[in-house]
Homo-oligomer: A and B are copies of this chain.
Amino acid sequence: MTVVEKFTTFGEHLRTLREFAGLTLREVATILRIDTSLLAKIERNERQPTRQHIKQFADFFKVEEKELVDEFLSDQIVYKILNEGTDLNILKVAEGKIKYIKTKNG
């Protein structure tokens, strides 16, 4: 059970964290030494955060880095599925492949 709403995007998640902390874009951007406009775009999912960014956000907002990373990466999977005109079945296929690879290697 987390503070933030589930089933949102990375950007929305980030924005929620910031607003929950009662800070403006400029404030957070200044502290983290990134452009205000860039941060705004990351929150609107118009720019991708780098790994570095994600780590900074996790540290700053005191959340698990993996939580944010998964939020970000799952967004990309969602985007792919919705835009390539395929369906949820693809997740099963991917899961099968990964499990297969894992049994093969370790």
Q: Which residues of A contact B (CB under 8 A)?
A: 6-7, 9, 66, 69-71, 73-78, 80-82, 84, 86, 88-91, 93-101
How would you classify the secondary structure of chain A's contact residues: helix, strand, loop or mixed? helix
Chain B: CB-nearest residue to A71: B93
* Contact indicator B101/A82 (Cβ below 8 Å): yes
Complex: A70 Cα to B93 Cα, angstroms: 8
Beyond the given pairs A7-B100, A9-B97, A74-B94, 20 more chain A to chain B contacts, judged by CB atoms under 8 angstroms and listed by A's residue number, are A7-B97, A7-B101, A66-B86, A69-B84, A71-B93, A73-B80, A73-B84, A73-B86, A73-B90, A74-B93, A75-B97, A76-B80, A77-B77, A77-B80, A77-B94, A78-B94, A78-B101, A82-B98, A88-B95, A88-B98
